[in-house]
Structures are given as C-alpha cells and as structure tokens.
Structure 1
Amino acid sequence: MRALVQRAARGSVDVAGERIGEIGPGLVILLGITHSDTEKEAAFVAEKCMNLRIFEDEAGKMNRSLLDIGGEALIVSQFTLYGDASHGRRPSFTEAARPELANPLYETFVELCRGYGVRVATGRFGADMKLSLVNDGPVTIMVESR
C-alpha cells in the first residue's frame, strides 16, 4: 500500500461538476493499493499518516501530527501510484489491485482514519475526479507499508 501524503491548507474533490468532498487544513492522501495488501497494511499506513509529524510547532519545526493540530483528511483512491513507467512510454498498471480488492481496502483505510477522530472527506472510488489542493509548504511524503 502506498499513500502520497500532502500537507494542505485546503483540498476538494469534484465528480461530474459536483463537489463531493472538501477539507480545510490537514492532509490530502492519495491511496494506492496493490494485490498483496490486506487490512494489516491498511492499519499500518493509516496509523502512520495520522501520526506523521509534518506540521509546524511553535518553533517552526515539523513536529506536530494531524491529530495534534485537529486537522482534516481528504482521502482519494489513486491506482496510478502503482504505475510502472520503467519500460517504454506508456505506464503499466499491473501492480495495482483490481477494484474488487482495492475498493474494500480503500473503505477500510477511510474508516481506520475516522477511528482516530479525524474528520475525513473522500473521493468516489473509480470515478473520474477533479482534485484541487493548496499544498502547504510544499510538503509531500510517500508512506509505504513495505
């Protein structure tokens, strides 16, 4: 499992011209799932994302987590995080999990994050989405289960 975590001043996601999710300060998390992922990987990555110390403290050091600041999370499924462009010019997505595995794990990940008391907005699995965010910093970190 891969999570591309971006510290955001705000973020939103639209589907077919309709705003379906929006957050204020917090994290935008793009979540990629591969074939071998289970609830164990989802729990590991969720815990890491919720406690990742990438928000500034009073001294200006990245020392506070999403939980510490009371921030929100926008979580969007992103199978292209498992894209392989090492050969040719067209990426291969064979490492991305099929929807019948990925969708339930995505939903599990969302619920695990909500279990930390975080307000979570989401995209729509499998939809063509328009994602907007103001990356704060910019700060972008890749979190992986392995």
Structure 2
Amino acid sequence: MKAVIQRVTQASVSVDGTVVGVIDQGILAYIGLGHDDDLTVAKKLIDKILTYRIFANEAGRLDKNLQEVQGGLLLVSQFTLMAKTDKGRRPDFGPAMAPEAAKALFDSLVLYAQSQYSKVATGEFGANMQVSAVNDGPINFLLEV
C-alpha cells in the first residue's frame, strides 16, 4: 500500500461537476492498493497519516501532526500509484489490486479513518475525479507500509 500525502491549505474532489469531498487546511492523501494489501495494512497507513508530523510548530519546524492542527483529511483512491514504471514508456498496472477488491478495502480504510478522526472526506472510488488542491509548502511525502 502506498500513499502520496500533500500538506494543503485547501483541497476538493469533484465528479461530473459536483463536489463530493472538500477540506480546508490538512492533508490530501492519494491511496494506492496492491495485491497483498489488507485491512491491517490499511489501518497502519491511516494511523501513520494521522500522526505524521508535517505541520510547523511555533518555531517553524515540522513537528505537528494532522490531529494537533485539527486539519481535514481528504482520501482519494488512485490505482496508478501502484504502477511499475521501471521499464519502457508505458506504466504496468499489474501490481494494483483488482477493482472490486480494492473498492471493498478502500471503503474499509475510509470507515477506519472516520472512526479514528472526525474530519475525513473522500473522493468517489472508480470515478473520473477532478482534484483541486493548494499545496502548502509544497510539502509532499510518499508513504509505504
């Protein structure tokens, strides 16, 4: 399982012109699910995202996590994160979890995130989404569990 997390001042996801998820300051997290991933791994990833220290303290050091700054968390499924890109000029999506299983796991990941933190929004699994974000910093990290 992989996640690209971005510290944002705002972010939103729209499907067919309708906003389906929106946050102000917080983390936009793109989530990629692989064949061997399960709910145990998903919980570990969410716990890491919620406690990863990417927000500045009073001295300007990255020392505060999402919960400490009471920011929002916007979760967006993105199977392309699992692509193998080491050979050729076309991504190989073989490592990505099959859509039906991935939807079930992503839904469980979202439910777990919502049980751990109150400010969680999502995109729409499998939809053609338009994501808008104002990256703060810019600060981005690739997390793997």
Q: Is the pair's TM-score, using the shorter chain for normalization, greater than 0.5?
A: yes
3-state SS of 1:34 partner: coil
1:141 Cα deviation after fit: 0.7
Q: In the alignment, which residue of structure 1 is the partner of 2:111?
A: 111
Q: C-alpha separation between the residues in 1 aligned to 2:20 and 2:114?
A: 17
Q: In the alignment, which residue of structure 2 is the partner of 1:137?
A: 137
C-alpha contact (below 8 Å) 1:73/1:118 kept by paired residues? no
C-alpha contact (below 8 Å) 1:70/1:118 kept by paired residues? no
Q: In the alignment, which residue of structure 2 is the partner of 1:59?
A: 59
Q: CA RMSD in A?
A: 0.8
User: Deviations along 1:87-119, whole A, 9 cap, x unmatched?
Assistant: 211111000000121111111111221122231
Report the TM-score when normalising by structure 1: 0.96
Matches within 5 A, 1:36-47: 36-47=36-47
1:16 Cα deviation after fit: 0.8
Gaps of 5+ in 1: none
1:46 Cα deviation after fit: 0.5
The one-letter code matched in structure 1 to 2:54 is: I
3-state SS of 1:45 partner: helix
Q: Which runs of 4+ in 1 moved over 6 A?
A: none
The size of the alignment, in residue pairs, is 145
**1:34 maps onto 2:34 in alignment:** yes
User: Deviations along 1:18-55, whole A, 9 cap, x unmatched?
Assistant: 11111000000000000000111001100000000000
The one-letter code matched in structure 2 to 1:57 is: N
Q: In the alignment, which residue of structure 2 is the partner of 1:8?
A: 8
Q: C-alpha separation between the residues in 2 aligned to 1:2 and 1:82?
A: 7
3-state SS of 2:81 partner: helix
Q: Percent identity?
A: 39
Q: C-alpha separation between the residues in 2 aligned to 1:57 and 1:115?
A: 26
Gaps of 5+ in 2: none
